[in-house]
Structure 1
Amino acid sequence: MAETNYFAKTKIVVPFDFSDFSAGAVETACKIASRNEQVTVLHVIDPAQLHGFDDNGGYELAGELGNSLANIEGANEIDEANRKKALQAMQDLFEKSDCVGVHFAAVVDAPTIGIVEFASQNGVELIVMPSHGRTGIKRLLIGSVAEHVVRSAHCPVLVLR
């Protein structure tokens, strides 16, 4: 009896934050996919942190943009530069791994929204992600990205421990 891979033709996205946990999720996705080309590794750059906002959404005057709203016009250039850096860093990280051939993407958005919208707009059929993230009080107040993705995604989400 031939073994059938349920995920043989499934488009998979793996949110990636450069942690060991998310690297493990990429490896898991490559193992369950028939071909690495079906896997997209997605880094979502949080604009709140990128532009000097803290985790609670409050503006930090010491942030990258400083306290001048005039610098807001440069936000697109900052976003694009960081997006390109993230893409290059992911390509460098995975170029000699068992996951050669995966696709890479980077977007600037709130983590949950970035993941869910990317998956929806690109016909993704499975999201594979680790369950790690905020813990303790921050998780209770803000919630985990994995939990929000599970609740918001149009497709199945495999959450790894």
Structure 2
Amino acid sequence: MTWLTHPPIVVPYDFSAESKEAVGRAIGLLGDPSGVHVVHVLGELSPAEPGEMWNTVDHATRTKHATDAITKELGAEVTIRVLFGDAGHQITEYADQVDAKLIIMPSHGRSGILRVLLGSVADRVVRLAHCPVLVLRPEKKS
């Protein structure tokens, strides 16, 4: 058994096909979904958003909706955690909290202006993480 196969493994999840594949790879490495911690990070709401102004949306309702959607896609065997704030910081802080042995995450392969505007969560996680990070790169289109 190598260090790659020790739980927990943290997998950031953004509902993309690539992040679903990363969850599958983590389960494949461990052979058991119970050691996989799926993390979904939501941004903070603006005080001007209607749900925030009328107190109809809060962290609890957003967490429930996200957890239900992830459970529907992945099943209840993995540990699901919904966090709020900057994705790179939240992912690495959570990995530290659970003493993760590995973070597996996709890179969406953005470049140029999209990378400047959207940033790269994978870059931030690689820089901030205290455990190994396996970044799954998209296949090159021929």
One fold, TM greater than 0.5?
yes
Determine the structure 2 residue equivalent to 1:41: 38
CA distance in 2, matches of 1:39, 1:113: 19
Between Structure 1 and Structure 2, how many residues are aligned?
Answer: 137
Distance 1:153 1:128, change over 3 A: same
Structure 1, unpaired ranges of 5+: 53-62
Report the RMSD for the aligned CA atoms in angstroms. Answer: 2.5
Q: Does 1:31 align with 2:11?
A: no
- The answer on whether the counterparts of 2:37 and 2:80 sit within 8 Å (CA) in structure 1 is yes
Moved over 4 A (4+): none
Q: Which amino acid aligns with 2:122?
A: A
- The answer on whether the counterparts of 1:44 and 1:110 sit within 8 Å (CA) in structure 2 is yes
Which deviates more, 101-110 or 129-138? 129-138
CA distance in 2, matches of 1:142, 1:44: 15
Distance 1:94 1:142, change over 3 A: closer
Give the number of the structure whose alpha-carbon radius of gyration is greater: 1
Determine the structure 2 residue equivalent to 1:123: 99
Q: TM-score, normalised by structure 1?
A: 0.74
Distance 1:17 1:32, change over 3 A: same
Distance 1:147 1:104, change over 3 A: same
Determine the structure 1 residue equivalent to 2:46: 51
> Matched residues, percent identical?
39
